Amino acid sequence: MPISSRLTPRGFGQRNFDKVETWVFDLDNTLYPHHLLWQQIDDRIRSYVAEFLKVSKDEAFRVQKDYYKRYGTTMRGLMTEHGLKPDDYLEYVHQIDHSPLEPNPALGAALSSLPGRKLILTNGTRKHADAIMRRLEIYQHFEDVFDIVAAELEPKPSAKTYERFLERHDVDPAKAAMFEDLARNLEAPHALGMTTVLVVPAGTREVFREDWELEGRDDPHVDHVIDDLSGFLDRIMLRRG
């Protein structure tokens, strides 16, 4: 299926946004193209794994990617397989330079026009999310951030993470939409009743995506696939009038 910023649902039975009152956004590679920061984070994760496990950088890279795929985050894999205490890890891997990000007034305007609540649900930390939002100048549009600590260190795609999020913020999933860059992370929110949007920014494959990360676009739990978040949000508001 071609990627599009059109509002038209993919097919019969796909959910729309007519009743959406709560707008939930992943952070990295959803609110901004992750290639602007990912190499820094990727390198720091690899360095941490190499030091923690006392292995070569090549072996650390293999472990890093394997755990990310199997556990949702490298951190969760290290916790499960090796008893990692997460505080130092989270602080270390997010010590990056956020200056490559620039303000995004189009996104800010689109978020401002959405009726209802706006929340972030991320496998990263609140500190990282705050830095991103301030660089993009969209901080004022969000009510709160539900981060990996709020999720009790259990990352997406775990269904428990979404259930904790919905309970903490008193969100009715039938009146909520989830925007996310990994199709597998939309399965649980769709099952809970949320309208789901897969965000695939242009050029991500060439920069850092693995094949499995690009799978699932045609799965029934993905209601919409887009490559232009701001434009798509504008189209939603045009349709809602």
Residue 82: phi and psi, rounded to 5, are: -135, 5
In this prediction, residues 86-111 reach a mean pLDDT of 94
Encode pLDDT of 34-69 as tens digits. Answer: 777 888 988 999 999 999 999 999 999 999 999 988
> Do 68 and 155 belong together in one domain?
no
DSSP string, 94-122: T----TT----HHHHHHHHHS-SEEEEE-
Q: Do residues 185 and 225 both lie within one domain?
A: yes
The Cα 67–Cα 238 span in angstroms is: 42
| Domain boundaries, position 218 | 22-32+102-240
| 120-176 tens-digit pLDDT | 999 999 999 999 999 999 999 999 999 999 999 999 999 999 999 999 999 999 999
Residue 162 and residue 121 share a domain:
yes
Structural domain contains residue 1: no
Q: Is residue 4 part of a domain?
A: no
Band (pLDDT 50/70/90 cuts) for residue 3 is very low
Average pLDDT, the chain: 89
The reply to whether 64 and 118 lie within a common domain is: no
Q: Which region among 1-15, 38-52, 97-111, 196-210 has the lowest average model confidence (pLDDT)?
A: 1-15
Work out the pLDDT band at 216, boundaries 50, 70, 90: confident
Indicate if 64 and 145 belong to the same structural domain: no
Residues in the chain: 241
Q: Where are the alpha helices (DSSP H) in 9-141?
A: 38-53, 57-71, 74-82, 86-93, 105-113, 126-136
17 occurs within a structural domain: no
